Amino acid sequence: MSVKVYERIIQLFEAEGITTVFGIPDPNFVHMFHLAEERGWNVIAPHHEETAGFMAEAVSRMTGKAALCIGTLGPGMANMAGAIQCAKVENSPVIFLGGQRARITEQRVRRGRIQFVKQAELIAPSVKYHASIEYADQTDEIIREGLRRALTGTPGPVYIEWPKAIIQEELDVPEPLPPHRYRLVGQTAGQDRIDEAAALIRAAKQPVLIVGHGVHTTRAGESVRALAEVTAAPVIQTSGGTSFIEGLEDRTFAYGFSASALEAASESDLVVAIGTELGEPVHYGVGRHWEAGDADRRWILVEQNPEAIGVNRPIDVPLVGDLRAIVPQLVAALKDTPRTPTPQLAGWIEQDAKRLAELAATAPSGQSPVHPARLIVEATKAFPADGIMVRDGGATTIFGWTYSQAKPRDVIWNQNFGHLGTGLPYAIGASVAEGRKRPLMLVTGDSSFLFHIGELETAARLNLPLVCVVAVDYAWGLEVGVYKGLFGQGSLETGTHWSSDTRFDKIAEGFGCYGEYVDRDEDIAPAIERAYASGKPGVIHVVVDPKANSEEMPSYAEFRTWYAEGMQ
């Protein structure tokens, strides 16, 4: 068939099940955008290229596939740099497409060229693969190589650009190949390794599962649930894997912040680690809560990248491949010999439920401004059972992972890179990926919310079922705490405070959203309910106690131990 390059690019992504694109169109992309919309794609134009990248990353997390984002040549790609770096550190397979001027512009000896920079060499250190489609007949091989690199081994971003004239050239090509015809899909582990892992699990007295970020971004919850049930093991969440798998909510404990998780870790004699790099937030699997019994504890690691095996800690049985294929292999090997739960499991479940109830009961209440712990308790009590939870902010997120009363099956936040301002675009991308039907709640700090507050217009334009609960202390709360810790009470807190006249509820109304101002804890849940009922995206401005927000962050000492070196 005869097609233009831009149509072929669309066909190649459709073959991968990708039918959503984010970005602000320029002359390199208007034909692609027009055709994509004609073919029924979600074509989302936000207000900043960085947020386009964050939205695409959220789509990847919610679908388990690669996602697509474009950037205008020059300033558009510069704006996208933060999202590219996030995708790298968060291990997100996002395909970033960039426009470029004709190559004659690059080759001339000239100064003062408009909207031009050599983009590829700037972006190259932050992507797994970069290339330029210089000739039309390179289109298939370069797009496929980009997808191959993004999805093979540890997932990550790639960058592909083309000079403007290429997009309109004609190609005579066959139907696009399905993914399994040109790249490895669903890699399983060798049966000898599966048998070895199954033997270790059968022999263990106190096995545990560590479930990380990768379990949720691959949408592998169902198979991991089956493994947890056949092994009768508790599930320890990493800080990046804070979504809950349906059916395992009661036996899932947060590493570092739950006494049940710490006891399960220290008493375990076998760990099955799935979808996690075993990084700093779990002390590399060797320090702190793992020190007790380390010499006798065995480790099974399910890992897609063979180069990652044994880097952070020794591994007894590496299972290299796609966890979506390997976990079912383990379940099949163990189904005829299911384990009986140990007596400790019931005790850990009871202990963790009691902890959660105590947090709800003891979070300071009845004060105005609202205590940030109470904000989290009241907001998450009002969280819809089928909702998507999005987190953003420094102090607000630290309060959130401790005091949350909800156990959502989808939680999105920028854990590895710690990039603030991702919350609102993450929420928009996640909602687009889910068909704009499931309710979303963004719990964020005010400073973080201001990064990309203009995307409230995008949320309103798309009519998303989103409520943003904003903890407002008119400051960089976590940084205020750092100043106090370093220099004492009453010290200058340079650069951390801003105008207390800012009203996020009024800003929301200006964008066509629902807005409400709250300064009492008993009003938080009703305001959230009214926002969902309004049929518009909502913003709940909650005034929080700045002193508590900067001085009373729960488990902050534990959080500081994540930085194993170079930050103390």
Tell me how far apart the alpha carbons of residues 204 and 224 are, in angstroms, rounded to a whole number: 18
pLDDT digits (tens, 9 = 90+) for 520-545: 999 999 999 999 999 999 999 999 99
Main-chain dihedrals φ then ψ at residue 490, nearest 5 degrees: 85, 0
pLDDT digits (tens, 9 = 90+) for 13-36: 999 999 999 999 877 889 999 999
- pLDDT of 568: 52
- Residue whose C-alpha is closest to residue 374's, from 214, 519, 182: 519
Average pLDDT, the chain: 94
CATH number for the domain whose boundaries are 363-560:
3.40.50.970
- Residue whose C-alpha is closest to residue 352's, from 396, 408, 397, 405: 405
Lowest mean pLDDT, pick from 47-56, 111-120, 238-247, 388-397: 111-120
1.10.150.120, 3.40.50.150, 3.40.50.970, 3.40.1160.10: CATH of 2-181: 3.40.50.970
pLDDT band at 564 (very low <50, low <70, confident <90, very high): low
- Whole-angstrom CA distances from 440 to 92, 424, 443 are 21, 10, 10
pLDDT digits (tens, 9 = 90+) for 217-238: 999 999 999 999 999 999 999 9
Ranges of each domain in the chain: 2-181, 191-348, 363-560
Tell me how far apart the alpha carbons of residues 503 and 339 are, in angstroms, rounded to a whole number: 55
The reply to whether 2-181 and 363-560 are identical in fold is yes
pLDDT digits (tens, 9 = 90+) for 53-86: 999 999 999 999 999 999 988 888 999 999 999 9
Highest CATH level, class, for 191-348: alpha beta
Q: Which helix (H) or strand (E) holds 178?
A: none
Position 567 pLDDT exceeds 60: no
pLDDT digits (tens, 9 = 90+) for 284-321: 999 999 999 999 999 999 999 999 999 999 999 999 99
Q: Summarize the chain as % helix, strand, coil (round to 5).
A: 45, 15, 40
- 145: its two tokens: 């190589």
pLDDT band at 247 (very low <50, low <70, confident <90, very high): very high
Position 506 pLDDT exceeds 70: yes
Position 204 pLDDT exceeds 90: yes
Strands 317-320 and 411-412, sheet pairing: unpaired
Tell me how far apart the alpha carbons of residues 297 and 267 are, in angstroms, rounded to a whole number: 9
Residues 6+ apart with CB under 8 A from 192: none
Strands 170-172 and 2-4, sheet pairing: antiparallel
Average pLDDT over every residue of 375-387:
97
Tell me how far apart the alpha carbons of residues 15 and 46 are, in angstroms, rounded to a whole number: 25
Tell me how far apart the alpha carbons of residues 45 and 112 are, in angstroms, rounded to a whole number: 30
Coil, strand, or helix at residue 103?
helix
pLDDT digits (tens, 9 = 90+) for 447-491: 999 999 999 999 999 999 999 999 999 998 888 888 888 888 877
